[in-house]
Amino acid sequence: MEIKISKNFIEQVKALAQSPYLIDAVLVLAVFLSIETTILSLAHGFIVAYGDAESHLNIPKRVVDSLTPGFAQLGGIWLPLPHLLMIPFVKIEFLYRTGLAGSIVSGISFIVASIFIYKLGYFLTKNRFAGFVAFLVFVTNPNMLYLQSTPMTEPVLICFFVLSSYYFIRFARVALRGKHKEEIDVLESGREVKYLLLASFFGFCASISRYDGWFLVLVEAALIPAIYLPYDKYSSVIEKAGKVKGVLSIIKHKLYLTRKNFTKLQGLTVLFATLAFLGIVGWFAWDGLILGDPFYFKDSQYSAEVQQQAWLKRNELPAMHNLPVAFGYYYVDTMANVGVVFFDIALVGSGYYLIKKRNALAFVVSIVLMIPFIFNVISLFLGQSVIFIPELTPASYEWRLFNVRYGILMLPGVAIFVGYLFQDIKFNGKLLLLFLAIVQFGLYASGYSKIVTLADGINGLSSAKRTGVETWMKSHYDGGLVLMDDYARSVSIIGSGIPMQDVIYVGNKPYWDESMQAPEKYAQWIVIQQNDAVWKGIYTNNYLRGRLYKYFVKVYTSPEVLVFERNSQVSSALNP
């Protein structure tokens, strides 16, 4: 049996796959998927499923609506850009209460990232359909789709990571002209500085989004000299003098850089670093000036490093100072986030790309796309972060699901390598990849592969712990200031309906400090959770507890949380 298809038709399909209008389809599809998933998340109450999601909304909200509004409310731990971007949206109460303020920022980041993944795929392969395949791998990833519907900061980082990588790779290609076979046009060759500046700017944005961005700009800065090394000269010297003598000769005669290149390199590196490192320097300055310690983000009681100490005491930091385990954790985490099938295809694709290209540009591309992997492995190894994932975390641990979303940062790299492999293999290989992609979605649909980022938000340690008190507050709160430890998340501000202007938390000076001496001074309500800052500051102090019970009445009791309301009779006696 034979089915005949006109070659003309095939050519038309091929032409369609290479159409410049494909980018319009990319935009439309990305916007559609972003909105669709956000609506789903909203309908199921998943937008603020993460404990951190609410905190990411509260920070910008405090900047504009708070007892003590101002930029100092940005704090000194989490980097400020995602919160700054949310400010216009959290001002609208509906967007703040639903979490959509964060979803808008994450959604736009997702859309921009997906467009540039398409562009990067196209740029590397000169094949629009390869870019489209990379784009599809990125935008159909359920973990990415879920995260882009939340106020979490990963989508913002991914956006700036992709943008910075895209321009850095374009810069590298121009800078490496003549070192490999690919020809570039005259117009492109004049854009070297422009691309570097754009890479630097977006690197700067990444560096004030998440700490991963710091590593990105550091690696990019380190790659600039590497790009300008005259490799061709080395090989001829080594060929003539032999390996050892050749290397010694290169060092002795300073052949590693020509004077002309060295001057240019100096200029470009300074240009890149000035803007790219501005965020890092600025953050040190901010912490020093506002919080009194340039290393506040690292040393304060709220920092990740200090939090890891608690895990260390429980002997539950398996990856710390153990490189293979750190590697294993992030490897498996990446696999769980990007999908086990796509992960394997990307592994093959990256190996294939490196072997086939074997040039400096391929090296730069691979290093840049692998930055999240290297950063996270180092971070786990140093004990600066922790990931618990059921595949590897021992059953004896109290929690086996935590911070799994970090693996999503490798999705852009995976998408690019899948796209590359797809365009470069034969028809049967393409069919096989298509079949495997269907298998991947089948694994998700059957529940075999979980949407790990969502699972962590619902059942993992990253999930917001709802004590039930917010429901009670929603129906009983009738105005007045509420003293609470927001860091301990004793009550959800979003869920309880308490206006942010009525909250006294540790960042409201002098309200907080004075309330810790005289709880009745400002607060109409006090929410205390076992072992939180209010508990430690007031409830465990006999004198202050006496004052608490003198001026307040306990109106809500649960195993974890107590709510006190100002005793109106005592209040009227004090303020007749």
Partner 1 sequence: MIKKILAILFLVIFGIVMYLATLRGVWGDARPGTKNITDSTMPFESSHERSPFATTLSLMDNHRFQLSKNLADFASPDVGIYHGKFYSYFPPAVSVWIIPFYEFGHKYNLAQVAAYFSMSLFSIGSLVLIYLISKDTLRLSQGVSIFNSIVFGFASTAWSYSATIYQHGMTVFLLLLAFYSAWKFSISKRSAFLWAIPVWVSYGISAFVDYPNVVLLAPVMVYFVLKATEVLDRGDKYGFKIKLSIVFSSVFLFALVFLHAYYNQVTFGNWKTLSNILPRYDASAATTQGKTTQQLEQINQKTSSFELLSEDRIISGAYELLIAQDKGIFIFSPILLVSLLGIIYALKKTTFEINTLIALAVVNIFFYASFSDPWGGWAYGPRYIIPAMASLSFFVGIAIEHFPKKWLMRVLVFVLFAASSGISLLGSLTTNLVPPKVEAVYLKMKYGYAFNIDYLSRGQTGSFMYNNFFRQNWSLLQYYEFILIILVVLAFILLFIFPLFKGEKVEGNFKWK
Contact 182, 126 (CB under 8 A): no
**Strands 503-504, 523-529: pairing kind:** unpaired
* Choice from 35, 392, 544, 570 touching partner 1 (CB under 8 A): 392
* Choice from 390, 514, 536, 541 touching partner 1 (CB under 8 A): 390
CB neighbour list of residue 182: distance below 8 Å, 6 or more residues apart: 173, 361
Cα-flanking dihedrals φ and ψ of residue 527, to 5°?
-110, 125
Q: Is 396 in the site for partner 1 (CB under 8 A)?
A: no
**Least distance from partner 1 to the Cβ atom of residue 450, Å:** 7
**Least distance from partner 1 to the Cβ atom of residue 230, Å:** 35
Nearer to partner 1, 281 or 438 (CB): 438
* Choice from 301, 315, 428, 542 touching partner 1 (CB under 8 A): 428
Contacts of partner 1 in 328-357 (CB under 8 A):
332, 336, 340
For residue 115 the two structure tokens come to: 């467009």
Mapping DSSP to helix (H, G, I), strand (E, B) and coil, where does residue 358 land? coil
**Least distance from partner 1 to the Cβ atom of residue 341, Å:** 10
Binding-residue total with partner 1 (CB under 8 A): 25
Q: State the virtual CA torsion across 525, 531, 536, 540 in degrees, nearest 10.
A: 90
Nearer to partner 1, 301 or 446 (CB): 446
Nearer to partner 1, 396 or 542 (CB): 396
Q: State the virtual CA torsion across 370, 372, 374, 378 in degrees, nearest 10.
A: 180
**Least distance from partner 1 to the Cβ atom of residue 414, Å:** 16
Q: Is 572 in the site for partner 1 (CB under 8 A)?
A: no
Helix segments in 358-510, DSSP class H: 360-382, 411-424, 427-445, 452-458, 469-476, 493-496
Contact 83, 63 (CB under 8 A): yes
Beta bridge partners of 482: 503, 525
Helix segments in 277-359, DSSP class H: 278-291, 296-299, 304-313, 323-338, 340-357
User: At residue 92, what is the residue type?
Assistant: I
* Choice from 15, 21, 398, 448 touching partner 1 (CB under 8 A): 448
* Choice from 221, 291, 443, 570 touching partner 1 (CB under 8 A): 443
**Least distance from partner 1 to the Cβ atom of residue 447, Å:** 6
Nearer to partner 1, 5 or 573 (CB): 5
Sign of CA dihedral 146, 147, 148, 152: positive
Nearer to partner 1, 174 or 335 (CB): 335
Nearer to partner 1, 243 or 426 (CB): 426
Q: Fill in the per-residue mask, 12 to 51: x = in contact with partner 1 (CB under 8 A), - = not in contact.
A: ----------------------------------------
Name the burial class of residue 325, with classes exposed (0-12), middle (13-18) and buried (19+) by CB atoms within 10 angstroms of its CB.
middle
**Least distance from partner 1 to the Cβ atom of residue 427, Å:** 7
CB neighbour list of residue 233: distance below 8 Å, 6 or more residues apart: 250, 255
Nearer to partner 1, 69 or 390 (CB): 390
Which residues bind to partner 1, rule: CB under 8 A?
1-8, 10, 332, 336, 340, 390-392, 427-428, 431, 435, 443, 446-450
